[in-house]
Amino acid sequence: PPLEEILSLHDFEAVARRTMGKRGWNYYSSGADDEITMRENHNAYHRVWFRPRILRNVGTVDYSSTILGHKTSMPVYITATALGKLGHPEGEVTLTRAAGKHNVIQMIPTLASCSFDEMVDAAIPNQVQFLQLYVNADRSRTKKIIKHAAERGVKALFITVDAPQLGRREKDMRTKFVGNASSQQTQGGDNFKRDQGAARAISSFIDPSLNWNDLAELKEAVGEMKVILKGVQCWEDAVMAAEYGCDGVVLSNHGGRQLDFAPSPLTILPQVVSILKKRGYMTPSRPFEVFVDGGVRRATDVLKAIALGATAVGIGRPMIYAMSTYGEQGVSRAFEILKDEFETNMRLIGAPTLSDVVPNMVDISSLNAA
């Protein structure tokens, strides 16, 4: 269908399912095991209801946001998803360009199809980019990547901590990986498994021995970049991240692609925020930002996470489905749809700015109920 007929982020997925190559679709759409967590990520948003307020002068609404000190057009960023060229011949630079046009932050994946420098070069002046990092068993390679990112102006490093081993995504495992993996993707990994799907083919270098004691060494290389742990799944680890001097966490289960029956990030968000605050974090003197990703498809989903204390929300699959189906214009359209949804729904809940989107604007009594 023509792009104007795409009215929601869900629509991109429906078109992608019909039109994408099988290999790309199987890699992007798959979740781990029975995909219970993948579905729960989205379903959890259905258990949070608004408590809308009236007569609040919503003549103008402002959904611009600040993420780790950077002004953005909305409290949404493109999270890291690997292998963009399985969906679009130009790959991740299409995301970079659309993000630049809409002042949205892009998180560059370690395992992108485009090279890191191609994605930085595709950015406009002052466009903010973050880097997602998989830590190599060969630490010197990882430190080289970190130093290069700092030199190229990347503002924050998101260290993925939910993937000591890649989850079993059976849909993906049934398709052979036939692309050319770049040295950036294999990073010298020697057991390159082509017959186990795209994910396993490119991830064998990731170091499962990574632990809290390694953080200090990695942090030495980061320079001015902020450090965030991506893939935190309980409050204890969020508190440890803060105690180890990180600047934030992403509550995430990797889009349901790792541990099946990992909780949805939304269900743990209230507790994580409340305990961090009780310990004195998330305050001006000890800033610490909490992000969530997984299953976010609507501005109303984002507003629920904001109300519960998230700084911003990462969106994964909808972005790569938009890219795969309509290229850069599709991704731009996705941002326009979200902007329209923000404007409409902030008016309807009675919140002129994001700072008005506070905990008592949502009812979470069903969120963790049986």
Interface mask (CB under 6 A) for ligand FNR, residues 225-254, using x and -?
A: -----x---------------------x-x
- Answer for which of 197, 270, 295, 330 binds ligand FNR (CB under 6 A) is 295
- C-beta closer to ligand FNR: residue 316 or 350: 316
- Answer for which of 317, 322, 354, 364 binds ligand FNR (CB under 6 A) is 317
Residue whose token pair is 């180890």: 244
Q: How far is CA 190 from CA 186, 187, 203, in A?
A: 8, 9, 11
* Helix (H), strand (E) at residue 177: none
Indicate the residue whose CB is closest to ligand FNR: 316
User: Residue 48 corresponds to which tokens in the numbers above?
Assistant: 């949070």
Position 124, amino acid: I
- C-beta closer to ligand FNR: residue 79 or 345: 79
| 82: contact with ligand FNR by CB under 6 A | yes
| 334: contact with ligand FNR by CB under 6 A | no
User: Residue 20 corresponds to which tokens in the numbers above?
Assistant: 């994408």
Residue 71 burial by CB count (10 A; 0-12/13-18/19+): exposed, middle or buried? exposed
162 is catalytic: yes
- Answer for which of 120, 249, 303, 315 binds ligand FNR (CB under 6 A) is 315
Residue whose token pair is 């104007």: 4
φ and ψ of 328, to 5 deg: -55, -40
Q: How far is the CB of 198 from ligand FNR (least distance, A)?
A: 9
- C-beta closer to ligand FNR: residue 41 or 332: 41
- C-beta closer to ligand FNR: residue 129 or 252: 252
Query: CB 121: neighbour CB atoms within 10 A?
Result: 12
Q: How far is the CB of 319 from ligand FNR (least distance, A)?
A: 8
Q: What distance in Å separates the CA atoms of residue 302 and residue 89, rounded to the nearest whole number?
A: 30
Across 291-315, b (16+ Cβ under 10 Å) vs e yields bbbbbbbbbbbbbbbbbbbbbbbbb
| 41: contact with ligand FNR by CB under 6 A | yes
Q: Which stretch binds ligand FNR (CB under 6 A): 6-14, 122-130, 240-248, 291-299?
A: 291-299
Q: How far is the CB of 30 from ligand FNR (least distance, A)?
A: 8
**What are the beta bridge partners of residue 291?**
250, 312
- Answer for which of 68, 111, 156, 157 binds ligand FNR (CB under 6 A) is 111
134 is catalytic: yes
User: Residue 88 corresponds to which tokens in the numbers above?
Assistant: 């679009």
For residues 253 and 31, the answer to whether their CB atoms sit within 8 Å is: no
Catalytic, out of 11, 162, 247, 301: 162
Q: Site size for ligand FNR, by CB under 6 A?
A: 24
| 81: contact with ligand FNR by CB under 6 A | yes
User: Residue 360 corresponds to which tokens in the numbers above?
Assistant: 């008592």
Nearest Cα residue to 227 out of 209, 205, 249: 249
What does the binding site for ligand FNR look like in residue numbers (CB under 6 A)? 27-28, 41, 79-82, 109, 111, 132, 160, 230, 252, 254-255, 257, 293-296, 314-317
The residues assigned a catalytic role are 134, 162, 254
